[in-house]
Structure 1
Amino acid sequence: MRIALLARVHLGTLAVLFVLALSACLLVAGLPRAMQASYDEALRRSLAAAPAWQADLTVSVESRSPEEDLHERGQFDLRDRRWHEILPAALRPLVTGAGHMSAKTTLTPVTGTAGQTYINLGWLSDAAQRVDWVQGRAPGRPSTMRYEGATIPVFEVGVAEDAQREMGLQVGQQKMLGENDYVAVKIVGVFKARNPADRYWSHNLEILQVTKIQPPGALDFEKHTTTLISDEGLTALSSEGRNLSYHWILPIDPRGASALAVPDLDAAVAEFGRVAALQSTGSPYHLDTGLPKLLADFRAALGTAQTVMYLVLGGLLAVALGVIALAVLLLTDRLDHTLTVARARGGSLRQVAGAAATVTGIAVMPAGLAGYGLSFLVPGPVLPIVHLGPAVVVLVAIGFAAARVARSHRTPLHERRDDVAAGRVSARRITLEVLVVALALAGAYLLRARGLAGGDPFLLLVPVGLTLAAALITLRCYPYPLRLFVRLAARGRAAVPFLGLTRAARARSASVLPVLILLPALGVSVFAAVISDGIASTQQLAAWQQVGAPIKVTSEVEIPAATISQVRGLAGVEQVVTAQTGRVQVGYGAENAEAIAVDVAQWRRILDGATVSLPALSDGALVSPELRGRGTFEIGWQSRVRLATRGVIDSVPGFYTEGKFMVVPLSVLTRPAVNTLLIKGDVSPDALARLIPSASVKSQERALSAIRDDPLTRTVRWALVVVTVALGSYALVAVVLSLVVGAAERARAVSFLRTLGLSDRQAQRLTVLEILPMILLTALVGLGLGLFLPYALGPGVDLASYAGGLPVGGYSLDLLIPLALAAGLAAVAVLGAYAHTAISRRRNLGAVLRVGDLT
């Protein structure tokens, strides 16, 4: 059989098949790479945004005897090398940079301060590269002195600028530390960090800042600071009489993180902690890190992203394979006459099936290779699906072509009864279809009733089952309403409605089955559109709840009235609402609550048009659920104030979401000390930050951008848009191919009718009436399925990670995109019908009547 001639004769069909296979292979290989790259970027951002003390690995040990003390840098270096040697393989890509080491004392009181002031001693292995000395000099070698009849060490130390200011420490001062075992410190310098924002200082914040602690029941604060000593100071630093611990920090480099390695990292961290503990010869070494918690949070968000992606990509692959199968069906129909002749002349079944597979392979194999190659232009790791996806597409196309031809040409000169409208369906098939529908409905009910456990296969099986059930019900039930319309049309005098609807109602299952590709295409695309819209609206709500106003300015100290006047005078400022926040005493006991005093009416005007709001309040208080049921109560805030409960609110936008809180009118305060501004207008947050340096400025627009710019969030929404467009395109192609697949039989019937006097206009209406009912019915079922899936899968898909932490639910029925898809399919069907009629009109009726007219 001349394969090259067959390919040249059917070049147009092969070109369509090539384009479809190319797009499918590119999507199935490229989209997973892009998504995995975004997963990696999300993990890296998560690790980079976390405090270093939480992400890094810190090996610590408490020295409990002089024998366990370390007095030389070499002793620290030796252990540091050991920690790197025993790192599990999964952690090595993350721990690539050089870390640092430290020795610190804790709870070292200043003698004679009754435990109110603490000056600890600290050594950093890289202090010389991290700080600049702004007064005095760097510490040097320690000395000794006599104190109360004993010789004690005198450490030269440096203090941070914050400690100098908060604790009144000066260069040249000498302080005695301890209550029993004494040590002296001499302040020889004041330092500041070269880069205070460096993640490094997350591990050593107590060195840069004074820590204030209010003990339970006490009115005054304890003040703690840690000073710096030199390398020589290690020789005199001992655990005798004080709390001394050593630390080795192994920093995590986010650039080496991979989302694919996350499942192995938890076990690796636990293994590293276990092996590090085995290195102990005295006090046990222990691993301190928050990395497992970070990975668990990321894994939860990643799991939801992957679930949504599996759903939409699975639907995309199924639809793409279905459309390719339609194109193969068209090709094998075009080859049918040639293969029938070859079979009648003695060709074996293997030869004719091989010929169809070879012709199909001429189109799909180069397309598969091209799509596979183009996928490498997409940045991201190469996953197994990148290799398997194109291979599956190619094998399915070739296998379907061979199988269909082999089934059709089991015997030579196969004949088909075109005058039979429908065959009897076997009891076995009916039972199987009823079982599929029952299982799909049961799965959807169970998913709604109990939610989804981690790793449960229901999430992937339920959408597939629902789609298949909808397709089977549509396939079996669509003739019955059409037959009702046929009976109505039969009562009329016009023949075209009766003939068109009769042909549509009597269409065999095999002829309408290709159209059912529209079900998953429309279902998944509408599902993706609804999910994307739900995420977008919830993101808006989350941004408003985070800020509570277009712009919010909060300060720890009172904002002067003159500054507020300047804010009101800034260009673009439309309205400024002043407020005071604070912690108030509820009643006369120890119960406290968070409170905001504000003019609620003005705040409500600022929130006009926003997705959040507050109840009206003129007097009394709006309280949280934990404060409900108290009627009139009293608070202590500047003075004692009696308030009546006017309502219960679950949250205060921009301020409180849980616990005990209340909203009161600003007028209840004797003298409001404004520390919060709620601003409406087109003004730069940076300008406000410059005007009020002590304040924190947040804007709703920036909060929304931060939510949307998260890599996982951006990937989910981007993928949903791509899949929606791709599925919509495939659905349109499916309609066109469905028209072309049945074109020959339809043209023959119309030609027969034209000999009986059917006009061109009547032929067009007849074709439309034959095609459009199934398209419209399938589009409506697919539309309904897509709108139903978000509600069916609601308990199983937690999209809060992509919507600012708020649960995505209560999907609004925005039918613009779904109806546009359904209307587009119907329009394409109608245009295709008119185009088909126009083409058929050019045919010679005599030739049409002779083709296949064997009696």
Structure 2
Amino acid sequence: MRIWLLARVHLGPVAVLFVLTLSACLLVAGLPRATQAAYDEALRRALSATPAVQADLTVAVESRSPEEDLHERAQFDSRDRLWREILPGELRPLVTGAGHMSAKTTLTPITGTGGKSYLNLGWLSDGERRVDWVRGRAPGAPATMRYEGKTIPVFEVGIVEEALREMGLGVGQTKMVGEHDYAAVTIVGAYRAKDPGDRYWSHNADLLHVSKIQPPGGLDFEKHITALTSDAGLTVLSGEGRNLTYRWVLPIATGAANALDVPGLRAAVAEFDRVVALQSNGTASPYHVETGLPKVLGDFLAALSTAQTVMYLVLGGLLAVALGVIVLAVQLLADRLDHALTLARARGGSLRQVAGAAAALTGLAVVPGALAGYALSYLVPGPVLPVVHVGPVIVVLAAVGFAAVRLALAHRRPLHERRDDVAAARPSAKRVTLEVLVVVLALVGAYLLRARGLSASAGQDPFLLVVPVALTAAAALITLRCYPYPLRLFVRVAARGRAAVAFLGLTRAARARSASVLPVLILLPALAVSVFAAVISDGIAGTQRLASWQQVGAPIRMISDIEIPATAIEQVRRTPGVAQVVPAQTGRVQVGYGAERAEAIAVDVAQWRSILGDAPVGLPSLPDGALVSPELRGRGTLELGWQSRLKLPTRGVIDSVPGFYATGKFLVVPLSVQIRPAVNTLLIKGDASDATLTELARLVPSATVESQERALLAIRDDPLTGTVRSTLVVVTVALAAYALLAVVLSLVVGAADRARAVSFLRTLGLSHRQAQRLTVLEILPMILFTALAGLGLGLGLPAALGPGVDLSSYAGDLPVGDYSLDLFLPSALTAGLAAVAVLGAYAHTAISRRLSLGAVLRVGDLT
């Protein structure tokens, strides 16, 4: 057959099929690339935000005897090369060449301090180029001295500036360290880090800051600092009598991370730890790998799994709906070809020729469209996944296969004769049983998913992916089987009236089930997935807002390490854009007279509540007494040590204090209980613009200024969060468009039969206006019932999936459970579909009015 001639004759359906195929292939190939690119960016951000001491791979070993000591840099270098040689292949792209090595002692007390001050010794392979000496000089070679009848080493060390002030040390001092195996430490210089924000210092924070540790049951803090010694000092640093640990740091290159490699990376880290341990022959202490990378990857994988689940659901629904619309367009083309293929079959054409002609003409439309969509998908940044290649192939095969099979079945006998009976055949008992089984299994699956939660195994839980599909199929079956029954009630009511239009229109709508199956199978999942996406997106947005308020606790929060002067508070009050300032004092208080401690905030709760306004967080009123956490409940009157001894009755129990405390022991007290409040926190209501926040930070340099708006932006700025929400929006819009196209195509597909029926009735006296009403009554009921079913399924899916979709990773780590029933978007979609159906009906009758009744009645009449 002449395919090009058929394409020119049926150019309209061919063009529609081309455009639909192009859009479907662009979506199915482009969206996965965009989402995967966002997953990769999210992993890189997660690794960058994680302290290097947790993200990097660190090989460590303890030296417990002189035989295990390393005194030369070459010994460290040889082991560094060994660790890089035995790295598993999955880790090699992530490990950069810029690492460093260290030797440090721990828990080295300063003699005579009773275990209150510790001065550890540390050597860094690149320490000299990481610091600037601000006082004294760099440490040199060690010496010896006699102490208590023994010769002990004297280490020259440098110490960070902060330790001079915090621990009462000074350049030129010599301190004895140890309790049994003594050593002398001479402080010859003080240094400052060249770049304190460098990730390098995450591994060596003990050389940059004084650590304060409160031992269990103790009231005083221990102070720890590590001093920097030279390469010469390494030659006499020994693990005999000291807690000495050697480390080789292999930094992770966050920019090379790939989300697809995460499962393999976790296994590779475990394998690296195993292989490193095998190198411990001849040592009393085994080599081991210190890293938090598996936990970081595990947390990311949990968040990624949820994102992928949501993406699979919505993208799978989008693909199904797109295929349904394409199939509907193929059906339109097949109907246009029916007359020509019937003649060809009657004149001796084989079934293979008929099916081949249909497949060739369909392929002529869909193959260029698929290639164009596939090519355009490469404009979307992101890695090329298998679905990018497979998706367009599935679309083409589905379209061509449907065209060939449908026309082969329709023309399996020459001069086939079709009956257009309005009465539908009763379904068989087997079919009814199968449909009931599908509905029951879907409901049982939804119940089991809520009852058991997700599978603990790695990867996607197939149960979670099957249940939504089963629920959609069940809803479609129920809609197809049940929608005629309420219509028949309306038919009975209409039969009692004198007007025939309502009776005829509703009767045709109630009986035309076989012709309406495909539109239902398209409209119902389209509406269900789009409503589900809209509900999920709204739930995430609401929980993100709640999380931002819980993180900050006020429109603007200012927290200082020291007391904020009264003059500075007044300047803050007079700052343009500031409407109200609530002072507060935070601190750690003594509960009772023992070692029990709790976090506390003293504030005027009434003023705090006034600046919160309509925020989704709040506190109960507190005229006096204290609000306590659940761990402090049942104490009655609390005795607190905070500036002075306080006795406060318990006035309520709160689970959290917005912006401050969420776990542990904490309490809220009125600011008036303090004799002289030492205000270190300001809760501010006003303009949260960057200019205002910058001015507030300038007025109180010791304070950290945060705003609820910035916290919300930070939550939304996460790549995974942005990807989930943007994909939901794109899918919602695409599905709405496909739903509208399905309505239009269903109108066009049934246009010939509808025109024939209307023409028969017009010969009996049916007016043009009555014909319009008749067409609307025939089309609108199925669309409305399907829209309502899709609306109900979309609103019910979040609750049905239950714990299977944990979206807390995208909402500030708060569980997303408040799926409010905002019916604006679903109602708009339903109204849009109904409007398109009505307009299509009117347009159809307007076009039919121009045709001759005789011409219409002869269309398709072969006998």
**TM bracket, shorter-chain basis:** over 0.9
CA distance in 1, matches of 2:112, 2:511: 102
CA distance in 2, matches of 1:208, 1:572: 39
> Counterpart in 2 of 1:730?
738
CA contact (8 A) 1:515 1:735 kept: no
Moved more, 445-454 or 606-615: 445-454
User: What SS does the corresponding residue of 1:278 show, helix, strand or coil?
Assistant: helix
Counterparts of 1:556-575 in structure 2 under 5 Å? Answer: 556-575=561-580
CA distance in 1, matches of 2:226, 2:612: 47
CA distance in 2, matches of 1:362, 1:814: 44
CA distance in 2, matches of 1:655, 1:400: 61
> Counterpart in 2 of 1:695?
703
- Deviation at 1:692? 1.5
CA distance in 1, matches of 2:47, 2:100: 19
User: What SS does the corresponding residue of 2:159 show, helix, strand or coil?
Assistant: strand
CA distance in 1, matches of 2:244, 2:722: 47
CA distance in 2, matches of 1:166, 1:633: 34
Indicate how the Cα distance of structure 1 residues 168 and 658 shifts in structure 2: closer, same or farther if over 3 A, else same. closer
> Counterpart in 2 of 1:743?
751
> Counterpart in 2 of 1:298?
300
User: What SS does the corresponding residue of 1:362 show, helix, strand or coil?
Assistant: helix
User: What SS does the corresponding residue of 2:419 show, helix, strand or coil?
Assistant: coil
> Counterpart in 2 of 1:393?
395
CA contact (8 A) 1:97 1:253 kept: no
Structure 2 unaligned regions, length at least 5: none
Counterparts of 1:181-330 in structure 2 under 5 Å? Answer: 181-280=181-280, 281-282=282-283, 283-330=285-332
Counterparts of 1:747-758 in structure 2 under 5 Å? Answer: 747-758=755-766
User: What SS does the corresponding residue of 1:640 show, helix, strand or coil?
Assistant: strand
- Deviation at 1:440? 0.9
Normalising to structure 2: TM-score of the pair?
0.97
- Deviation at 1:244? 1.6
Structure 1 unaligned regions, length at least 5: none
- Deviation at 1:430? 1.1
CA distance in 2, matches of 1:478, 1:739: 19
CA contact (8 A) 1:99 1:250 kept: yes
CA contact (8 A) 2:217 2:595 kept: no
CA distance in 1, matches of 2:171, 2:649: 56
- Deviation at 1:588? 3.9
> Counterpart in 1 of 2:344?
342
Indicate how the Cα distance of structure 1 residues 586 and 222 shifts in structure 2: closer, same or farther if over 3 A, else same. closer
User: What SS does the corresponding residue of 2:109 show, helix, strand or coil?
Assistant: coil
- Deviation at 1:189? 1.7
CA distance in 2, matches of 1:238, 1:777: 82
CA distance in 1, matches of 2:240, 2:803: 58
Partner letter of residue 409 of structure 2? Answer: R
> Counterpart in 1 of 2:60?
60
- Deviation at 1:243? 2.0
CA distance in 1, matches of 2:749, 2:500: 25
Partner letter of residue 349 of structure 1? Answer: L
CA distance in 1, matches of 2:239, 2:359: 81
1:34-89 deviations in Å (ceiling 9; x for gaps): 11111111111000001111111111111111111111111110000000000001
Partner letter of residue 224 of structure 2? Answer: H
CA contact (8 A) 2:130 2:194 kept: yes
CA contact (8 A) 2:549 2:659 kept: yes
CA distance in 1, matches of 2:590, 2:107: 32
- Deviation at 1:452? 2.5
- Deviation at 1:826? 0.4
CA distance in 1, matches of 2:662, 2:607: 21
**Are residue 808 (structure 1) and residue 816 (structure 2) matched?**
yes
Indicate how the Cα distance of structure 1 residues 119 and 750 shifts in structure 2: closer, same or farther if over 3 A, else same. same
Indicate how the Cα distance of structure 1 residues 341 and 854 shifts in structure 2: closer, same or farther if over 3 A, else same. closer
**Are residue 645 (structure 1) and residue 650 (structure 2) matched?**
yes
CA distance in 2, matches of 1:420, 1:228: 93
Partner letter of residue 677 of structure 2? Answer: P
Corresponding residue to 2:411 among 409, 412, 415: 409
Counterparts of 1:11-26 in structure 2 under 5 Å? Answer: 11-26=11-26
Partner letter of residue 342 of structure 1? Answer: A
Partner letter of residue 154 of structure 2? Answer: V
* Segments of 4+ moved more than 6 angstroms: none
Counterparts of 1:812-823 in structure 2 under 5 Å? Answer: 812-823=820-831
User: What SS does the corresponding residue of 1:728 show, helix, strand or coil?
Assistant: helix
**Are residue 50 (structure 1) and residue 50 (structure 2) matched?**
yes
User: What SS does the corresponding residue of 1:745 show, helix, strand or coil?
Assistant: helix
Partner letter of residue 313 of structure 1? Answer: L
User: What SS does the corresponding residue of 2:62 show, helix, strand or coil?
Assistant: strand
CA distance in 2, matches of 1:103, 1:11: 78
> Counterpart in 1 of 2:847?
839
CA distance in 1, matches of 2:590, 2:154: 47
Moved more, 303-312 or 438-447: 438-447
CA contact (8 A) 2:219 2:595 kept: no
- Deviation at 1:295? 0.8
CA distance in 2, matches of 1:580, 1:712: 37
Corresponding residue to 2:675 among 670, 676, 685: 670
1:587-619 deviations in Å (ceiling 9; x for gaps): 344433222111111011001111111111111
Indicate how the Cα distance of structure 1 residues 853 and 224 shifts in structure 2: closer, same or farther if over 3 A, else same. closer
> Counterpart in 1 of 2:728?
720
**Are residue 661 (structure 1) and residue 705 (structure 2) matched?**
no
Indicate how the Cα distance of structure 1 residues 659 and 166 shifts in structure 2: closer, same or farther if over 3 A, else same. closer
User: What SS does the corresponding residue of 1:558 show, helix, strand or coil?
Assistant: coil
CA distance in 2, matches of 1:112, 1:459: 64
CA contact (8 A) 2:716 2:722 kept: yes
CA contact (8 A) 2:422 2:512 kept: no
- Deviation at 1:552? 1.0
User: What SS does the corresponding residue of 1:387 show, helix, strand or coil?
Assistant: helix
Counterparts of 1:170-185 in structure 2 under 5 Å? Answer: 170-185=170-185
CA contact (8 A) 2:324 2:518 kept: no
User: What SS does the corresponding residue of 1:376 show, helix, strand or coil?
Assistant: helix
Indicate how the Cα distance of structure 1 residues 472 and 305 shifts in structure 2: closer, same or farther if over 3 A, else same. same
**Are residue 156 (structure 1) and residue 156 (structure 2) matched?**
yes
Percentage identity across aligned positions?
79
Indicate how the Cα distance of structure 1 residues 633 and 67 shifts in structure 2: closer, same or farther if over 3 A, else same. closer
> Counterpart in 2 of 1:126?
126
> Counterpart in 2 of 1:380?
382
User: What SS does the corresponding residue of 1:739 show, helix, strand or coil?
Assistant: helix
CA contact (8 A) 1:304 1:797 kept: yes
Partner letter of residue 606 of structure 2? Answer: A
> Counterpart in 1 of 2:36?
36
CA contact (8 A) 1:132 1:192 kept: yes
Partner letter of residue 828 of structure 2? Answer: A
Partner letter of residue 180 of structure 2? Answer: N
Counterparts of 1:538-557 in structure 2 under 5 Å? Answer: 538-557=543-562
- Deviation at 1:850? 2.6
CA contact (8 A) 2:102 2:123 kept: yes
